[in-house]
Structure 1
Amino acid sequence: MGRDLVEHAVPGGHGEFPAARLRWDPDHRERTWSRLESQWDVVVVGGGITGAGVLRAAARLGLRAVLLEQEDFAWGASSRSTKLVHGGLRYLARGQVGVTRESVRERDALVREVPGLVAPLPVLLPLYDGQAARWLAYRSALGAYDALEGRLHRHAVDAQEVRLLVPPLRRRGLRGGLRYREAQTDDARLVLRVLREAVGAGGAALNAVRVAGLLRRDGRVCGVQVVDRLTGREAELEAAVVVNATGAWADRLRGQVGAPARMRPVRGSHLLLPEWRFPLAMAVNVVSPRDGRHVSVVPWEGATLVGTTDIDHGEVPDGEPCASADEVDYLLECLQGPFRSLELTAADVVSTWSGIRPVVSSGAVASWDESRGHAVWEEEGLLTAAGGKLTTFRVLARDVLAAAAPHLPTPGRAPAPAGPPPGVQPAGRLGARFGAEAGAVLAAAHEEDREFVAATPTTWAEVRWSLRCEAVNSLQDLMLRRTRLGLLLPFGGAEVLDRVGALCAEELGWDASRWARERSAYAARIRASHSVPPREAAQPADGGRVPAPA
């Protein structure tokens, strides 16, 4: 089992991992807090993929940089995506050539630099009778895709090959398909990987720290006031540059400098179905019968993911978004044509999730017509990283630091090279997810921790390591972001919670009272945000209705 988890992770065995330096436990939190009230080069507000990318880029330049997240790392859209690292074929179809070119380049770079965590994913677009125009349009788009990649691929497959690739597809009227490649990831683990690399390079990161206000001097932002949400203590941090990387919530911080709203919060909801009910060996791109949008059906972590919707959310919430009943219906409708024989219903859904995308508004009528490009705005000393997508987080980080450069000291060192450290060749699941720390994860595991958690690819070794070393403050942090057990198992993983509770007591010192509170709050979160909503449930602020085609 150990060799399945990680092979040839480091030269010389487990002792060479910098595990102690990167152990995010209460002592680490205290040490980090004790040095907050000092002069920083960069303060990053927001712990999603954008903020993590900025922190890592700054730390690798030798800058004094700290990241502050009021909830948990990857709490927002960065843990609630479709798990795709993709070039964006649909962006190309809408003429967003620049976004697509950038995305293709970054997708391929991430596959090389974080192998396994960002893994190649074959995708099939099935084509049926009456779709000749669609066939020609996408053949042309894939030709342009190849040109942007700089290499040619065979895309067209006949009906017989399609049936072999995706046996559950409806056969009647099937004419063939188009095959192309993208990549996929565990989005929350990617954020953690980038953050831990940032801390390893000298940066600092704290979750559960709320930025209560901005400090100003001579009309410019010069720092932040913060509150520790775990203890209530307060601090003031001065910085040469404050970066607003709060995603869909960016306008809230911008409002403190009098800037007008420019974001368009867009909700994307997803369903997860069990593999035994919906088996797939590759992703399939299906078309909504309601509005003609493309929806992805993706094998992920031993299950099948369906998403996403794309609707205006209105005001961003203080709490967590959730899928509406109509969105669940919309996604299931997308499966009824191509996968009719499976007779999938809401009763088959294991979990749901919704994320609020940080889209920059251009005034487009439909939310899905907005560009997924990014922007960097400087307003009275506050730098806002706006828009973008998971795939292009490194580009946005570089653009942020380029805009910040006039206010920063000369970097203390050249940027560190990307990819695995020299001599380190991580392999297997732990190598993919934990990189150079994979051997330490395995070394910390008890014998029984090498078992899988129920019917998932997650091991108990990962659970123990997350509790010990990854800044877990709540059961929700552990089950929904450090691991994805709360999404992969029915009822949020209720069947494994007793063993999880025993590990929390062992690693975090939680007593029976603390565990009861955590378990109750977690169960409420699963019901509110990750279950199929009843038809009579109150809808989100916009009514949760998926727009009909114009």
Structure 2
Amino acid sequence: MNSVARSEELPGILAREWDVLIVGGGITGAGILLEASRRGLKALLVEQRDFAWGTSSRSSKLVHGGLRYLKQGQFGMTRESVHERQALLADAAGLVEPQGFAFGDYAGRKPGRRQFMLGLAIYDVMAGRRARRYVEAADFAMLAPHIERAGLRGGMLYQDAKTDDARLVLRVLREARRHGGVAVNYLGVASLLREGDKVVGATLHDAADGAAPAVRARLVISATGAWADKLRGQVGQAPKLRPLRGSHLLLPAWRLPLAQAVSLMHPHDGRPVFAYPWEGVSLVGTTDVDHAGGLDSEAAITRGELDYLLVALRWQFPGLDLGEHDVLATFAGVRPVIDSGQLDPSKEAREHALWLENGLLTVAGGKLTTFRVIALDALRRAAPLLPGWQADLRPLPIFDAAPPLSGKALLLDAQQRERLLGRHGADAQALCDAAHDGELSPIPGTQTLWAQLRWGARMEDVRHLDDLLLRRTRLGLQLAGGALAIMPRLRAICRTELGWDDARWDAEQLRYLTLWQRHYSVPQGA
């Protein structure tokens, strides 16, 4: 809703009787809202910042089965993830896309061909299809140009998938709203409401005007990710999470040209590192370190993590002479991993968990890929707490099919139309119809249309410039300097669609560029 509609409609919305209040606007909360709404529950989701502001816009963007979890014996999680990957590829075409991976087989490096191919065989059995193959050195070098040739014996090829994680959250929320769910950003929980020991709702805090409305619900579900222990603390529970930071680099595709994703084990510690083509750039990740900083400000890559990833790149692609001057942008996210006391952060399990404590149902852990499984597990746990509600909790198609595009949209090629439908669903037609002259063309250097900026500003709950450039689109990660070159044209769009005058634009631009420099650029100093 836009700012005017929000101020007029929000008090009435919050005063309704709710079955479920979901706290947290990442992929877990969005998934629960969708699955609850399509099964008849009156569900409200609130997010203290922007939708997908936290981990769900800062993941590695991979929709994968977790090949490395096989090594840790987590077969159930891998099987579940592979199944959900296949479902997303089928139901979210244009948003979730296949991605080929290549892993070099080098003399003296681990894991060797036999061990790796055995893992891939299990992976394929779980997926119900054969995607693995081994190729000799010459063929592998053609598929993965610029890699280190010394000691190369060949390589293993396999399939996973990738997505735009923030757009996935927004698409899930869009589907949930179509089924009657309500989602509001910049509306956080100040405190939980309780009757005796039982949680019965929450007092909220509206970032727009400081209002503190109270909302009552039959059940409160915390899907706040790495922030879950803060809310659990209000019902007297000890912390259970270990926040782990994963940081990433984005480089121009011409500096790190990739025909396939290239996966490798880091030469220092043997952790998996990957580089793959994403949204017109090359994405490199990831680290896995304890996040010692607070959770109230955005996470950012450290100098040590930057150097760690650059070492891996130079080792795997020695002829490219890559350095920090090649980095377009960086981003870091904090994973909500359940603490089991492992010395090595990478050995912590990634399964999700549910805790019901004094009427507060907390959902923690898990992966982007398995958000539907997590949501359905949460509703199974919630069912006994919602007398009178009965529903079939077997998985439904993740998204309903959107009608084909027509009219002005036919100016786009088939790939562009599929991309729009994947990201915007049934809104894709209205997005194209709303485009001004020339706005159905891509922004130079990206696959994003100018029309997507206009639609995001008009219809997708944008309150700040970073909402538009870092989550509704990913232009702040794809274009130099956080997208400085398009600011004049973007200013005109924001003036029309958001009603921002010169003073508001100047304040938003300064706020965004300061944020980008602190949290999305190359870290300064040693």
Query: Is the shorter-chain TM-score for this pair beyond 0.5, marking a shared fold?
Result: yes
1:90-489 correspondence to structure 2 within 5 Å:
90-131=68-109, 133-314=111-292, 316-411=294-389, 417-421=396-400, 424-425=403-404, 427-489=417-479
1:445 is matched by which residue type in structure 2?
A: A
1:6-155 correspondence to structure 2 within 5 Å:
26-27=4-5, 30-131=8-109, 133-155=111-133
Matched, 1:529 2:519: yes
Q: Tell me if the contact between 2:63 and 2:85 (Cα under 8 Å) persists in the aligned partners.
A: yes
Cα deviations across residues 233-253 of structure 1 (Å, max 9, x unaligned)? 121111011001110010000
Change (3 A) 1:527 1:408: same
CA distance in 1, matches of 2:399, 2:239: 40
CA distance in 2, matches of 1:163, 1:445: 43
Q: Tell me if the contact between 1:61 and 1:411 (Cα under 8 Å) persists in the aligned partners.
A: no
2:397 is matched by which residue type in structure 1?
A: A
SS of the residue corresponding to residue 130 of structure 2 reads coil
Unaligned runs of 5+ in 2: 406-416
Q: Tell me if the contact between 2:131 and 2:159 (Cα under 8 Å) persists in the aligned partners.
A: no
2:414 corresponds to which residue? Answer: none
Q: Tell me if the contact between 1:124 and 1:178 (Cα under 8 Å) persists in the aligned partners.
A: yes
CA distance in 2, matches of 1:422, 1:331: 39
Deviation, 1:153, is: 3.4
Tell which deviates more after alignment, 459-468 or 231-240.
231-240
Q: Tell me if the contact between 2:101 and 2:160 (Cα under 8 Å) persists in the aligned partners.
A: yes
TM-score of the aligned structures, taking structure 2 as reference length:
0.95
Q: Tell me if the contact between 1:48 and 1:191 (Cα under 8 Å) persists in the aligned partners.
A: yes
2:96 is matched by which residue type in structure 1?
A: V
CA distance in 1, matches of 2:77, 2:14: 37
CA distance in 1, matches of 2:333, 2:111: 33
CA distance in 1, matches of 2:327, 2:88: 31
2:141 is matched by which residue type in structure 1?
A: R
Deviation, 1:151, is: 2.8
CA distance in 2, matches of 1:164, 1:62: 53
Larger RCO (alpha carbons 8 Å, 6+ apart): 1
Q: Tell me if the contact between 2:146 and 2:317 (Cα under 8 Å) persists in the aligned partners.
A: yes
Unaligned runs of 5+ in 1: 1-22, 537-550
Tell which deviates more after alignment, 403-412 or 138-147.
403-412
CA distance in 1, matches of 2:385, 2:110: 55
CA distance in 2, matches of 1:368, 1:197: 34
Q: CA RMSD in A?
A: 1.6
Cα deviations across residues 89-141 of structure 1 (Å, max 9, x unaligned)? 11111111111111111111111111110111111111112137522221111
1:509 corresponds to which residue? Answer: 499
Tell which deviates more after alignment, 128-137 or 252-261.
128-137
Q: Tell me if the contact between 1:66 and 1:203 (Cα under 8 Å) persists in the aligned partners.
A: yes
SS of the residue corresponding to residue 496 of structure 2 reads helix
1:182 is matched by which residue type in structure 2?
A: D
CA distance in 1, matches of 2:495, 2:110: 60
1:199 is matched by which residue type in structure 2?
A: R
1:277 is matched by which residue type in structure 2?
A: R
2:409 corresponds to which residue? Answer: none
TM-score of the aligned structures, taking structure 1 as reference length:
0.91
Deviation, 1:429, is: 2.0
Cα deviations across residues 191-245 of structure 1 (Å, max 9, x unaligned)? 0000111111101010001100000013100000001100111211110110011
Q: Tell me if the contact between 1:25 and 1:469 (Cα under 8 Å) persists in the aligned partners.
A: no
Change (3 A) 1:24 1:184: farther
After the TM superposition, list the runs of 4 or more consecutive aligned residues in structure 1 that deviate by more than 3 angstroms.
23-26, 409-417, 419-423
2:413 corresponds to which residue? Answer: none
Tell which deviates more after alignment, 250-259 or 283-292.
283-292
Q: Tell me if the contact between 2:383 and 2:390 (Cα under 8 Å) persists in the aligned partners.
A: no
Q: Tell me if the contact between 2:104 and 2:155 (Cα under 8 Å) persists in the aligned partners.
A: yes
Q: Tell me if the contact between 2:264 and 2:272 (Cα under 8 Å) persists in the aligned partners.
A: yes
2:109 is matched by which residue type in structure 1?
A: Q
CA distance in 1, matches of 2:450, 2:506: 21
SS of the residue corresponding to residue 384 of structure 2 reads helix
Deviation, 1:493, is: 0.4
Q: Tell me if the contact between 2:70 and 2:78 (Cα under 8 Å) persists in the aligned partners.
A: yes
Q: Tell me if the contact between 2:353 and 2:365 (Cα under 8 Å) persists in the aligned partners.
A: yes
SS of the residue corresponding to residue 269 of structure 1 reads strand
Q: Tell me if the contact between 2:120 and 2:132 (Cα under 8 Å) persists in the aligned partners.
A: no
SS of the residue corresponding to residue 51 of structure 2 reads coil
How many residues are treated as equivalent by the alignment?
514
SS of the residue corresponding to residue 171 of structure 1 reads coil
1:479 is matched by which residue type in structure 2?
A: L
2:488 to 491, 498, 521: 498
1:303 is matched by which residue type in structure 2?
A: V
Q: Tell me if the contact between 1:63 and 1:412 (Cα under 8 Å) persists in the aligned partners.
A: no
CA distance in 2, matches of 1:83, 1:24: 29
CA distance in 2, matches of 1:43, 1:51: 10
2:345 is matched by which residue type in structure 1?
A: S
CA distance in 2, matches of 1:338, 1:413: 51
CA distance in 2, matches of 1:251, 1:315: 15
Deviation, 1:24, is: 5.4
SS of the residue corresponding to residue 234 of structure 1 reads coil
1:539 corresponds to which residue? Answer: none
SS of the residue corresponding to residue 22 of structure 2 reads strand
Q: Tell me if the contact between 1:286 and 1:335 (Cα under 8 Å) persists in the aligned partners.
A: no
1:444 is matched by which residue type in structure 2?
A: A
